[in-house]
Structure 1
Amino acid sequence: MTTLSQTKEIFRRADAVCFDVDSTIIREEGIDELAKFCGVGDAVTEMTRKAMGGSVTFKTALTERLSIIRCSREQVNKLITDHPPQLTTGIKELVDTLHQRNVKVFLVTGGFCCIVEHVATQLSIPLHHVYANRLKFYFNGEYAGFDETQPTSESNGKGKVISMLKEKHGFKNVVMIGDGATDLEACPPANAFIGFGGNVVRQQVKEKSLWLLQRGSLHWDHDSGVHVLNERN
């Protein structure tokens, strides 16, 4: 069983850090924002809560939410233009510090590439370090489903991505940081998990995280690695 001190040491020595995006890298849940933009926010928000809490499988929740939203390519593009994702306070500085320390940073999320790639660009994260779901559209731009072959569309998909990254790059210490049950379950194969509750606190993550960052702005701390104001150990 990994202890808190071991978790912090793994983070200090990490070869790679994998971040969730929704409610971690950014303040909001991208799919909820898309739903609001398309006029079906209330129905989708409740399904997101269940998915992040682990009470339904991720793929089931994703399929049901998208079947309600049925967004067009035009709506997605307009959302990004009119309501771009808002970065969590301090996250750019943290990612910059990790890059300066030659730590590889990846975005591993159940969100959508069209939104996540916009976020990656803001953080100078290479687009080939983005693992996310892909929406599909018909030639006229209408919603046609999502790519079900992406590992991030499945439960335990984030763990599959991390296993692949470790095998491909030979990483010894990989840390997963996120707010949801799908992030928690990615450890193992991640060597350590850091729960993030700076935007929303999920009960399951709060109970099972050795290290839960609850509120304030993220920044690098020499002694403990990542630090957040009023963290709970």
Structure 2
Amino acid sequence: MMSTLSQTKELFRNADAVCFDVDSTVIKEEGIDELAKFCGVGDAVTEMTRKAMGGSVTFKTALTERLSIIRCSREQVNKLITDHPPQLTPGIRELVERLHERHIKVFLISGGFRCIVEHVATQLNIPLDHIYANRLKFYFNGEYAGFDETQPTAESGGKGKVISMLKEQYGLKTVVMIGDGATDLEACPPASAFIGFGGNVVRQQVKERSSWYVTSFRELIKELEKI
């Protein structure tokens, strides 16, 4: 059953942990689209991302197809992070600081790539063991060798699996998921509440199905100030 707006706000204020999606939520862009552009196959991959986020194909299928077009080398990934580091969404740094001040654990759960997400986590002082994301695989010569299909985030429903695992591992009762896409929305339940984020891109089905939908992290910071 979906929480009401006031219930969602209360769960957020009293959360044991807050889990954020990364692409188009914590950062302004979709990491896989940026990687595709950098490797010269941007248009083909952007269209597939749109389908994946809209929920019209399974996440794993979309990820496999997009990566088979990109076929990025380790060197290209490293160069992307150096030359075009991910752009943080305004307000996220302050929001994470406020959550940490209140001893609320912060996790990043992403269908994107760990190498990019680690860079983001470091900027936000989020421990690297609080990251759940997909791992790219490379051959010894640095060429693309696929991705680790055993990671829960490689599957549709994977974010929910991670949240169930976190609840058990850390003994968390109230866990809030924040994100822009279909894969974030479907993580609630097991998440106690979901907050839709439309500050970078608005996905209509997510907006319609969120009891609390925000377009700026300032709205969440303001809510924490009520404590």
Q: CA deviation at 1:215?
A: 4.6
Worse-matched range after superposition: 40-49 or 1-10 = 1-10
Q: CA deviation at 1:207?
A: 1.0
Code of the residue aligned with 1:120 in structure 2: it is A
User: Residue 211 of structure 2 aligns with which residue?
Assistant: 210
Q: Distance in 2 between matches of 1:103 and 1:11?
A: 10
User: Residue 200 of structure 1 aligns with which residue?
Assistant: 201
Q: 1:53 to 1:81 in 2, by over 3 A?
A: same
Q: Distance in 1 between matches of 2:193 and 2:218?
A: 21
1:95 lines up with 2:93 in the alignment:
no
1:80 lines up with 2:81 in the alignment:
yes
Code of the residue aligned with 2:135 in structure 1: it is R
Q: Distance in 2 between matches of 1:186 and 1:123?
A: 23
Q: CA deviation at 1:226?
A: 8.4
Q: Distance in 1 between matches of 2:55 and 2:27?
A: 20
Q: Distance in 1 between matches of 2:26 and 2:109?
A: 11
TM-score by length of 1: 0.94
Code of the residue aligned with 2:178 in structure 1: it is I
Code of the residue aligned with 2:224 in structure 1: it is G
Unaligned runs of 5+ in 2: none
Q: Distance in 1 between matches of 2:64 and 2:30?
A: 16
User: Residue 110 of structure 1 aligns with which residue?
Assistant: 111
Q: Distance in 2 between matches of 1:225 and 1:211?
A: 15
1:27 lines up with 2:4 in the alignment:
no
Unaligned runs of 5+ in 1: 228-233
- Cα RMSD of the aligned pairs, angstroms, is 1.3
User: Residue 168 of structure 2 aligns with which residue?
Assistant: 167
1:41 lines up with 2:42 in the alignment:
yes
User: Residue 231 of structure 1 aligns with which residue?
Assistant: none
Q: Distance in 1 between matches of 2:95 and 2:70?
A: 33
Deviations 1:17-74 (A, max 9, x none): 0000000000000000000000000000000001011111100000000000000000
User: Residue 8 of structure 1 aligns with which residue?
Assistant: 9
Deviations 1:54-105 (A, max 9, x none): 1111000000000000000000000000000000001000000000000000
Q: Distance in 2 between matches of 1:12 and 1:173?
A: 10
Q: CA deviation at 1:204?
A: 1.1
User: Does structure 2 conserve the Cα–Cα contact (< 8 Å) formed by 1:218 and 1:226?
Assistant: no
Deviations 1:148-204 (A, max 9, x none): 000000000000000000011111100000000000000000000000000000111
User: Does structure 1 conserve the Cα–Cα contact (< 8 Å) formed by 2:92 and 2:217?
Assistant: no
SS of structure 2 residue aligned to 1:55: coil
Q: 1:177 to 1:16 in 2, by over 3 A?
A: same
Q: CA deviation at 1:107?
A: 0.1
Code of the residue aligned with 1:171 in structure 2: it is L
User: Does structure 2 conserve the Cα–Cα contact (< 8 Å) formed by 1:90 and 1:218?
Assistant: no
Q: 1:226 to 1:88 in 2, by over 3 A?
A: farther
User: Does structure 2 conserve the Cα–Cα contact (< 8 Å) formed by 1:108 and 1:131?
Assistant: yes
Q: 1:37 to 1:169 in 2, by over 3 A?
A: same
Q: Distance in 2 between matches of 1:209 and 1:191?
A: 13
TM-score by length of 2: 0.97
User: Residue 140 of structure 1 aligns with which residue?
Assistant: 141
Percent of paired sites with the same residue: 82
User: Residue 70 of structure 1 aligns with which residue?
Assistant: 71
SS of structure 1 residue aligned to 2:56: coil
Deviations 1:101-130 (A, max 9, x none): 000000001010000000000000000000
User: Does structure 1 conserve the Cα–Cα contact (< 8 Å) formed by 2:95 and 2:217?
Assistant: no
- The structure with the greater share of residues assigned to helix is 2
Q: Distance in 2 between matches of 1:159 and 1:220?
A: 25
